[in-house]
Structure formats: C-alpha cells, structure tokens
Amino acid sequence: MTQDSDLTRLTLAQARDGLRAKSFSAQELTRSFIDRVAASDKLNAYILATPELALEAATRSDKRLADGDARPLEGLPIGVKDLFCTSGVRTTACSDILGDFTPTYESKVTENLWQDGALMLGKLNNDEFAMGSSNETSAFGPCINPWQTDDKTPLVPGGSSGGSSAAVAARLGLAATATDTGGSIRQPAALTGTVGLKPTYGRCSRWGIVAFASSLDQAGPIARTVRDSAIMLTSMAGHDARDTTSADISVPDFEAALTGDIRGLRVGVPQEYRVDAMPSEIETLWQQGMDWMRDAGAEIVDVSLPHTKYALPAYYIIAPAEASSNLARYDGVRYGARKPGADIDDMYAQTRGAGFGEEVQRRLLIGTYALSAGYYDAYYLKALQVRRLIAQDFEKAYEKCDVLLTPTTPSAAFALDKAQADPLEMYLNDVFTVTVNLAGLPGISVPAGLDANGLPLGLQLIGKAFGEEELLRAAEVLETAAGFSSEPTEWWNAS
C-alpha cells in the first residue's frame, strides 16, 4: 500500500470527512487499522483485539453513511483503554486479579462514543489499575513506545495510558480513550508525540470505568491532533445521573471552539515549575512555547503556584488511600481470579497477594497505612488540607491569567526498567501534571518538539474548570506554531 492511499495516515477529522464524502468506506478504513494492529505485536499496545466486532460495526456504519444517517463519529475506529468496562468484551485493568472478567455493562464514556458511531478495534494496555507512569506494571507486560533513538533501546510509552498513546502514535487507531489520575493521559501523550486531553473533573462520567482514585480519576482522549481531541471530547463528555460527581452542564461543540484566535489571551507561566535539574532542552522548549503564544497575540504573565512542591506528596497519600478502598472489592468472591486459601481470610490474602502486582501492592499498603488508626490526621487529613491550598493557588493565579503554560514532563521517554528500581523516581514523572488532578482542572499536552535524541517532548496547557473551549483553542494555536510533524520509524511493523 502506498503512503498516499494508507487510510491510517488520516487524522480522525480527515477520516470523518472522507467517509462523508464517500472517498472510502468504513469497512475499508477499519480493515486498514485491523491489519496494522495485527502487525503490531512488538508494541504490545493492544492486549485484546476485537476485529470481528469492529468489522460488524463498520458494516452498520456504512449502511448509515449510505442512508445519509451518519452520526458524529460514524465508522471511526478507535482503541479503548482496558480500564473502561466494555459489555461482553474482557476487561481487566491489566491486572491478574480480574482474570477473564467480562462485564455485562458498558462504561458511560464508551457507550457515548458508540452511540455517536465510533467503533472499537480492541482493548489497550495500561499500567495495572492505572498505577504507573511507564506502562510497565501491566499484567500483560510492558507496552513499547513506537519512538526509538538510534541505539534501538526499547523505551516506555509513558503511563498509565501507555497503550493508548502508543496506539495513536503508531497509527493503530484514529484515537483512543484514556484516563488521567495524576498525569496518565498527558504524560504518555508527551512521550509519544500525541495530544492528550484530561478534561475538568466531572466533565466525563466515571460510571463503568475501573476506579483508581475516585476524586482524581477523569477520562479523556489521546489523539493525533488538538482537533481530533476536541471531536472525541464532544462525544465522550456529558452528564450522567449514575455518577453524581459528573457535571450537570451542557456539552458544547468543542471543535467549533477552534477559531485559531487567541489575541488578548493571558497565558500564565508558573515560576515554581522551574524545578531543579530540569533538562535545558525542556526549559528551552518551554520558552519557545511562550514565544509562540506571544507571537499569536497572547500576553505572557508570570504567576505563582506556591504549593506546587507539595502536590506530589499530597497526591501520594490521597490517591493510594482512595485506591486502598476502591480496590477492596477485588476479593475473589464475585468475579476475578480466586486463589484457594485455608479459610476465607487466607483466600482473600492469597487472591490479592497473587492477583495484584508489586506497584499496586505498594500503593495499597501506603494507602492502608495512611488511613489507619493513629495516622489519619497526620497523613490523609493533612494531604486533603494541602490539596485545598493547591486548588486555591490556581484560583489566585486565574485572577491574573486565563490558561497556564508548563512543560508536560521533566524528560522525554526513558528506557524500560529504568525507573522500576526506584518507585519514588517514577513518581516524579507526574510532577507537572499532578497539580491539575488535585485541583480538578482540565489540562492538555501538545507535542512541541524533539529532544537531542530525536524523541518527542510536550508542552502542557492548563485551563480553568470547565474552560475546555478556551483551553483547546489555545492548544490548537500552540500545535500550529510548533508544527510537530515527526513520526517514529516503523521498526515494529511485522507486515
């Protein structure tokens, strides 16, 4: 297949328009992706491909397209992070403890996507229960970044949504669903040269998404462009009476917000994000981002987020504490893989000891400890108080600016096994992203350049609560200015 006729090169918006113009059929488009997915085992992005289901759905979409009855995402093939429960399709959160769990229900976000005509290529790899920043904690083994340096060392695609970012970067789907608890959409997007959008907490329903930390989790898309992200979010978002933390506000057409005009926009630059030991190329890229925004008519404003330093410590109390409770339901009684035990408590301990991987166990123990008698006030309550101070930092900053511009990550993609040795070092990957989750704000990572080794780097824009339109508008301007067009070489492709 020539490059020109390779339908997988299209953006989601282009594919949508091509289908409507009858340039190709949904089945043709879907087959192109199915073939690429089938040849991508080396990446380990998909842990379960569902080509038959995809083709059935594509056939239905072609009928609708022919009937002039196309829905917003009609016939567009995407991948789904394994944290989203999919009816009749195995869902494991990439944990052994869920065994062959097959939900009888569909998550609200994926249901929204299917109702708008999108179709699923399969389930994507992620860090076990979304706990990780490298996709190495998955029970299905690590997902590999399509991007490599000249020495061909396997690199991580980021995490936890590593399968989603790798799949989009390797054109194994037009877009992918993902979730973000501390940076799990934006960090992998930055490491793979893709766009990752974490919406405002409450923008998307959490119903049917395997919970990690309930007050931080939020679903969003990883896509190739800001426009594709906007299209995806328009379908994913919406109030859901079954999730009382989902916002009861209308969903705008986010694509329509992409006017390209940010004149007068005040872009805040938080001084506290100039962390020690930040690679100079990241610092340079950040400065370049400010210049691009200024050139587009925005005003750059210095702001202060004084409690930034305490975001990671607060996060590493709050998220594990909530997780220790959220993951108590995996006890081998109603679903999942049970391990026999001498009695009921031993059955629990064996099941959970064998079913949870090391990082998950670590976090469950931290969380259990932080909530246990005598430590609650010193750890959990303190973290909740600091969380309010962090949220208030943003409120004050937004008195002076409209969006914030920061790097997404402190480094480009790193080698496998590098950070596994020291959990704390791995946690530092979230240093620029985690504040956003703590404050419940929307954030987006846009590919902005390459490091010295030719690996992608991202810049992050942070918006006001439910300010996704303004955020996406700014992000598209940044994307256009950066003009990121590099692609990974296809070392993995087996076909």
Partner 1 sequence: MTEKTNLIAGVTGDWEIVIGLEVHAQVTSDAKLFSGAATTFGAEPNTQVSLVDAAMPGMLPVINWKCVEQAVRTGLGLKAQINRYSVFDRKNYFYPDLPQGYQISQYLQPIVGEGEIEIDLEGGAVKTVGIERLHLEQDAGKSLHDQHPDLSFVDLNRSGVALMEIVSRPDMHSAGEAQAYVKKLRAILRYLGTCDGNMEQGSMRADVNVSVRKPGDELGTRCEIKNVNSIRFIGQAIEHEARRQIDVIEDGGKINQETRLFDPKRGETRSMRSKEEAHDYRYFPDPDLLPLTFSAEFVDDIARTLPELPDDKKKRFMDDYGLSAYDAGVLVSEAENADFFELAAKGRDAKATANMVIGSVFAGLNKAGLTIADSPVQAEQVGQLVDLISDQTISSRIAKDVFDLMFDEGSDQGRDPSDIVEEKGLKQVTDTGAIEAAVDAVIAANPDKVEQAKAKPKMAGWFVGQVMQSTGGKANPQAVNQLVLAKLGIEDQ
Partner 2 sequence: MVRRIAGLARIQVAEEKLPGLARELSAILGFVEQLSEVDTQGVHPYTSPVETQIKARADEVTDGGYPDDILANAPEKDDGYFAVPKVVE
Nearest to 155 by CA among 163, 146, 164: 146
Q: Within 10 A of 81 (CB to CB), how many other CB atoms are there?
A: 31
Pairing of strands 46-49, 119-124: antiparallel
Taking CB under 8 A as the rule, which mask of x and - marks residues 372-401 in contact with partner 2? x-----xx-xxxxxxxxx-x----------
Known catalytic membership, residue 325: no
Nearest-approach distance from CB 248 to partner 2, in angstroms: 7
Minimum distance from residue 201 beta carbon to partner 1 (Å): 11
CA torsion sign, 47 to 52 to 53 to 54? positive
**Can residue 250 be called a binding residue for partner 2 (CB under 8 A)?**
no
Q: Per CB under 8 A, which of residues 302..341 are in contact with partner 2? A: 307, 309-310, 312-314, 316-317, 324, 331-338, 340-341
Establish whether 63 is a catalytic residue: no
Our CB check for partner 1 shows the closer of 8 and 110 to be: 110
* In 132-257, alpha helices (H): 162-169, 186-192, 226-236
> Nearest to residue 417, comparing CAs of 405, 408, 425?
425
Diameter of the chain measured on Cα atoms: 69
Residues 6+ apart with CB under 8 A from 390: 305, 307, 308, 310, 311, 314, 435, 438, 439
Q: 297 CB contacts (<8 Å, ≥6 apart)?
A: 261, 262, 263, 264, 265
Q: Is 146 in the site for partner 2 (CB under 8 A)?
A: no
Binding site for partner 1 (CB under 8 A): 85, 91, 93, 98, 101, 103-105, 107, 206-211, 213-215, 241-245, 321-322, 324-325, 327-329, 331, 333-335, 344-345, 348, 368, 371-373, 376, 380
Which one of the listed residues 32, 61, 81, 165 is annotated catalytic? Answer: 81
Q: Is residue 184 annotated as part of the catalytic site, yes or no?
A: yes
Q: How far is the CB of 115 from partner 2 (least distance, A)?
A: 20
Considering the complex, state which of residue 34 and residue 178 has its C-beta at the smaller distance from partner 1: 178
- Using CB distances below 5 to 8 A depending on partner kind, what does residue 213 bind out of partner 2, partner 1, none? partner 1
Q: Which span (10-18, 64-72, 261-269, 420-428) binds partner 2, by CB under 8 A?
A: 420-428
Binding mask of the shown chain, residues 464 to 493, with x at each position contacting partner 2 by CB under 8 A: -x----------------------------
Question: Considering CB distances under 5 to 8 angstroms, the limit depending on partner class, which of partner 2, partner 1, none binds residue 361?
Answer: partner 2
| Phi-psi domain of 483 (left: phi exceeds 0; alpha: psi -120 through 50; beta: other) | left
Retrieve residue 226's tokens: 């800001």
CA 377 to chain CA centroid, Å, is: 32
